[in-house]
Each structure stands twice: as C-alpha cells, then as structure tokens.
Chains A and B, each alone.
Chain A
C-alpha cells in the first residue's frame, strides 16, 4: 500500500500559466487512499488553480497529473462520478431552489442517498425551498455541501468549503468529513481555517507561489520547527544559550523561557533536569506558527528593508 500507483491524487511537476503569469510552477502533491489531506497556502498561491486542473476545467501546460487512476482532462466526466466537489464560492441559479440544486448535482454525479440527504438538510438547518437568489453566502455553501456529502463517492475535493459557515455548522461539517474518512473515503481539503485543518487532516501540503514547499504529517512538520519551553527551576541555569539549536533564551532568576529546535529538545530538557525542574511547559508549534514560518519571509524582508 502507499505506492505511487495507488495514490488517489498524484501530481508531479505541474505547470500552468495564464498569459505571462506562472500560476503553478512545478507543483507536486500526493493524496493517498483514506487520508484527509490539507492543502494550505495564502491567497493566490495556486490552490484553486490546482483543483481546477484536477477537475479538468483547466488544461495543464506541463507535468503529470493522475486522479483516481485516470487522466483528469481526458476522462473528466467518468472520473467526476467518483468524486464530489465543493467550491469556495458557490453560485446558484437565481430561480432554482436549494433542494432542486441538491437533486440536480447529486443525480448528475450518479445518485443521492435519500436518507443522508434528509439528515444533512436537517443537521445543516437548510431551507431547501428558498430560491438561489435569496440564500446568504453561508446557505449557498450549505447547498453545495449537502449535495456533495449526500452522494456516494470515493473522493471529496473541497476548496475552502466552510467559508461563510458559522462555528456550529463548521463542526457539523467536520463531523461528516470524519465519518466520510471512517468509511474509507479520501479528502483534499483546501482551507484557511487552521484549526479545522489540525482537527481533520492526516497530512498537509503547504504551497507557495505555485510550488509545494512542505508536505508531510503534522507531526513531521512540527519536527521541523521549534518547541517553546517555559520552566521554573531550583536554581539559575547556565550554559543553556550555548546548546546547539536553542534560541531566544530569557532568564529571570530561576525562571527561564526559550525556544528549541524540536530534534534538540532532549538535550535542552536534560540540562534543565540537571539543575532541577519545579515546573515545565513545552508547547509544540501550532499550525499557525508553521504556516507563518513559511510565509513570514515576506514580512521579515519587508522589515529589513525598512530598517536599512
């Protein structure tokens, strides 16, 4: 299992240009069966472009793209029966009701599970008799979510699916995604809501300027960054700042706080242990810190520019 040929989504070196802009510049992405894969990146990084190539809306300029074992461009309609897509900005037909759109999209995908349709409409508190033009942003999103989650598919492609949903509806959504994974489904989830990604995703890919800059499980990604440590010690510690991988040491009497590269955590705690630990909190990096680390460069360079 886990071999390249078994992957649900397999992208190697994908390039897509619009005129002179290079929206995707050698992007790699792999989604394996049964995983929820978080797809992170700032606005304009190329997330939606990648998804549109995967759905056969856009034609790739270079690279290899495999979706469910097929070619997303040539076999589009056939492959689409096995997946459901929720865009981040759902546009409905002004004179069709939400219920009609759910049925339409569901049937075009090959059929709806009637019980689940009923259940989802109830859980999402959606009024299916309203016309498309009178739905709010969040309710338009619910229409697409119900249509997607009520179909029996192998893959969910979700492009910022919860934009406009309130926190209660967001947790309903998360519950159904977890259920979908428990039933063996795979998910590609593009999102800005990092708490959502942390809760749902097994693996994460972070993209920037059309390239994948980091990919792995959350644990692996955390390993690459620093853990913050705050400790109350028996007596003042010396030599902590000289340890490799330790940064930002701040000693106030017997209280010490610092950051340490996660692989070096053991040595640092060992030193503290020698001095005598009264209390200790070690905080792993949040996804937000991971994210900011990858996109913080812009801010850092801007600051430098201001200083000089």
Chain B
C-alpha cells in the first residue's frame, strides 16, 4: 500500500480537531447521563418510581431504546445515551469519510495526490484507517469515563466497544455511499439515510415488532444489554457487517472511474423557474433545504419533549438542582419544565439562524457573489434578500419547534389546549435569534472574518439558560445573553417590551451591517 501511511499521517493531522470535538461530545453525552441521573433522585424509591414511569412511556422507548434496568445508573446511561451515541459515531464516520473521499475528488485535490507515486487504494485505505481510529478513540474515552465514574468496568467497556463497532459499521456504509454517489452532498444524503433508517428501525422495533430492531446496527448495540445482563455476541454482528460493508466499498471502488459514482448524477432543469430570478427567490432557493432540514429536526425534538406529557414531576425528581434549572419562573412544575423545553428548542433553532446569517459570507468566500453583483442586482438588494430569508427561515424553524412540542404534548395527554401557547412561546424567541443574526450581519459588514463570532452568542445563550440559575451568576452577566430577557412562556405571561426591544436591537445591528457592507470592498 504505497503512500497509505503518508496519506494517513496527513489525514490525522487535518482531523486532529475533529477527533477532539467528536470525542469530547460523545464522552460528555454518556458521562453527563451518569452524573445527571445520580444528581436527580435523592432516594432509590424515587428512582424506582421514575423508572416505572419511564418504562410505561412508549414515546421514550421509541426515542431511546428498550427499557432495561432503568432504576440503575448504568441502565439509565445505556438507555439514554446509546442510541444517540451511535448516531454521533455514525455522523462522525460519515463526515470523516466524506471529507477524505468524495469531497477530495470533487475539489480535484485527490487527483493531484493520486497522480503521485501512490497505489490506487492508498487514499481509500488511509480514510478507512482514519475513521476506524477515530471511532476507537471515541469508544475508549466513553468506556474510560464510565469506568472512572465509577460504573462496573466490564459493562462500561462493552458500552464503549459497542459504540466503536457502531461507528465502524457506519464507516463501512459511508464508504459504500462514497462509491455510489458522485457528489459529496448526495453521499451525505445516502450515508445519513442509512443512519436514520437504522435509528428508525429500532424505534419501531422497540415499541412494536422486535424483529425490526434486529435489522438495525443500533439495535445490535443495545442488544448487548450492558448493565442488564451483558452478552457479547451481538457485537459480532456489528463487526461482521462492518467488515462486509467495507469489503463491498473496496470492490465498488475498483469498478468506478475517478470522479464519478456508480449511480449517474441526475440532470436538473435546463431553465430557471421565474421565482429564481428575484433576489429573494434566489436567496430562498439557496437556503430552502437548510430551512426544511432544521424545521424537521427541531420539530422532532419538540415532539420528543412534548411527549413527556405531564410525567414531568416523576421524571426530573425533586433535587434542588433540577428544580433550579426547570422551575425558572413562577408557574408550576409542568409549565416551568415546558418553558425551559421551549427555550432549549429555541436555542437549537438559533443554530439555523446564525448559520443562515453567515450564508452571505460563505457565498463571498466561495467567489460566487462577484458574478451576481456584476449584474443589475445591487449590493443592498442582494443582502436584504439574504436577511429576509434568515428572518422567514427563523420564524418557520421556531414555529416547527413550538408545534412539535404542542403536538407531542397533545398526543400523549389528549389535551390540544397547549399547542397555541407553546407555539407562541417558541415564536417569542424569534427576537433574540434575530439579535444574533444582526450581530453576524454587523460583523460581516464591518470585519467579515469576525462574523463567525456570532456563534459565541449561541454558546452564551446555552450557558445562561442551563447553568445561569445553578451557578447563581450576577444578573448583568446573565443579561449579556439576548435569551435571558424574554418571559419564560408558559411559566410566565408573555411580555411585549423585551421582545420589541430585542427586535429593535436586531434591526439596528442589521441595518448598520448593511450600510457597512454597501461601503466596503467585495472580494
């Protein structure tokens, strides 16, 4: 394998931050479950009661997995973290594979490297080893964190090993996807669908027909029954299918031409629809997919929260910490919980808003703005159309989150009366989200390379909502986050003043950014 080690070294260097962030994320996902479960219940009796309530909640089981040993910390960790952990490992593998295979071929960099004295399979093999190692790191850290917690060592290692094997499985399927498709985007589409189907199969299987769970790699991972009668043989299923998928990818790789996929690229329309020719129509067309994706994701998250129904009290226990976080505001426990749930969903939605507000920067960095602005389209109109898309998209995504919460709640409790308040509560967060978008716009107009700092605003919002009350930070520190000022609907009645003030600040930022953009050099 001439050259594979050189490639691998280059990949590892390029990926070192990816390794770190994914590994930290996955370890936190598992470890934080252990910590939070331990802090939540003061007595085993409370724990038993909460466990019984969870076992009876079909929505929870569909979301997380089969309910086993839920009155133990280990059982809770497996239940709450493994399905999502597998998704994390799957996404990491997909992005690592995509970045070193399809994306490299698409950009033409791979051609340059392959033309040097390396074997045909060198970059493929280096990609495979890179992704296998990344998943190994993930598994080892997760296992080590659980052993350190401390939980039973053998079971902890099984949880980590299963995670690594799930990642290997999705590495194999991502490698296959990279051979089938001819663009990075469609490769992510196929590889992502495999992950989604794996999750979906086990969700349906766990609540209905258990056979379906056995068709899913995530089902095999959870079928190892860590902390509830550990068995190793399902791990063999993961290992053998991962090997088979990887082998298939190698065979397919040998059968396709460089730069193409086994599936021919589908042609698109030869003419532009009339709507595409307006500034807004064009901006919307570029972000349409992202708006739909975020709306779907946030709505699903809302559904998950909403389907907790009125079981809030038994679930979150009555420790002081959980009360501090969840019962912010004057209302009862249920309202307090949903107020925080709405804020959580809204903070996730802010991810859309900020990435959408940064879109013009991406367009400029990729050199696509010049050709547009050399037409009759003025800078102001171009950027205003982008702003309008961000505003409309933010409203749509937040409405999706609010509706998801309301519908989820209605499905479990049969009470549709909360749909409207949840929706309105969620829409209130349009204002702080737009403050962050305005900040991104302001920076983009004045110092474009600092525009990404708008993400700090999202981070600040997360810290303030979840840790502000626990850490007892002074009011002015909490006030730095635009998310701090809104009324916590439905625990508190909606207040117009902060909403309108935030909107005014957002408009001020945005207009200043627009004016600055109209005066600066465009590259």
Contacts and interface: CB of A to CB of B under 8 A. Distances in A.
Given A103-B272, A104-B277, A134-B265, A90 B182 contact: no
Interface in B362-389: 366-368, 370-379, 381
B270 A97 contact: yes
A57 B373 contact: yes
Interface stretch (A123-131, A171-179, A256-264, A277-285): A123-131
A109 B374 CA distance: 9
Interface residues of A, number: 44
A229 interface: no
Contacts of B523: 57
A76 B381 CA distance: 12
B480 interface: no
B320 interface: no
A87 interface: yes
A228 B286 CA distance: 58
B374 A80 contact: yes
Interface stretch (B15-23, B77-85, B417-425, B514-522): B514-522
B123 interface: no
Contacts, number: 116
Interface in A154-196: 157
B268 A104 contact: no
Interface in B495-523: 519-523
A62 interface: no
Report the interface size class on chain B.
35 or more
A102 B374 CA distance: 14
Contacts of B377: 77, 80, 108
A109 B277 CA distance: 10
B269 interface: yes
A269 interface: no
B286 A94 contact: no
A45 to B, nearest CB: 18
Contact of A105 (B371, B379, B521): B371
A55 B373 contact: yes
A275 B372 CA distance: 65
B267 A55 contact: no
A131 B183 contact: yes
Q: At the interface, is chain B mostly helix, strand, loop or mixed?
A: loop
A96 B272 CA distance: 9
A91 interface: yes
B522 A57 contact: yes
A100 B373 CA distance: 17
B38 interface: no
A55 B377 CA distance: 12
A133 interface: yes
A107 B272 CA distance: 10
Nearest to A102: B272
B1 interface: no
Interface string A76-117: 111011011101011111111101111111011110000000
Interface in B242-301: 265, 267-272, 276-277, 282, 285-286, 289
Given A90-B371, A134-B265, A99 B271 contact: yes
Interface of B: 106, 182-183, 185, 265, 267-272, 276-277, 282, 285-286, 289, 366-368, 370-379, 381, 519-523
Interface of A: 52, 55-59, 76-78, 80-81, 83-85, 87, 89-97, 99-105, 107-110, 127-131, 133-134, 144, 157
